[in-house]
Chain A
Amino acid sequence: LRISLTRTSVHWHGFIQPHNGGYDGVPGITQCPIPPGGSFTYKIQCTRYGPTWYHSHFTLQYGQGAVGPLMIHGPTVENWDIDLGEVLLTDHYHGSIYDIWYKERSGGPQTSDNGLINGKNMLNGGGSFSEFTFTPGKRHRLTIVNTAVDALFKFSIDQHNFTVQGADFIPIQPYEQNVLSINIGTSHFIDRY
Chain B
Amino acid sequence: LDLLPAIILVARIKGPILRRIPPPRVGFPLERTIHRTIVNSGANTTSTPITIRSFPTLELFVRFAFSRFKVNLQYWLSLEHATLSPDGVPKDMEVFNGTYPGPLLEANWGDWMYIHVTNNLKDNG
Contact = CB atoms under 8 A, between A and B. Distances in A.
- Do A and B belong to a common assembly? yes
Interface in B33-50: 36, 38-41, 48, 50
Given A74-B109, A86-B104, A179 B41 contact: yes
A146 interface: no
B15 interface: no
A179 B43 CA distance: 12
B94 A46 contact: no
Interface string A52-67: 0010100001001111
Interface string A25-42: 000000000111111111
A164 B41 CA distance: 15
Interface in A42-80: 42-49, 54, 56, 61, 64-79
A183 to B, nearest CB: 11
A5 B125 CA distance: 9
B77 interface: yes
Interface residues of B, number: 60
Main secondary structure of the interface of A (DSSP, over half): strand
Contacts of A122: 87-88
Contacts of B20: 73
Contacts of B109: 46, 48-49, 72-75
Contacts of B122: 6, 36
Nearest to A126: B88
Closest CB pairs A-B (n = 8): A126-B88, A68-B102, A127-B88, A65-B93, A6-B121, A74-B109, A49-B109, A36-B123
Interface of B: 18-24, 36, 38-41, 48, 50-53, 56, 59, 77, 79, 82, 84-89, 91-96, 100-125
Interface of A: 2, 4-10, 34-49, 54, 56, 61, 64-79, 85-86, 88, 92, 94, 96, 113-114, 116, 118-127, 147, 154, 156, 170-173, 175, 177-179, 181
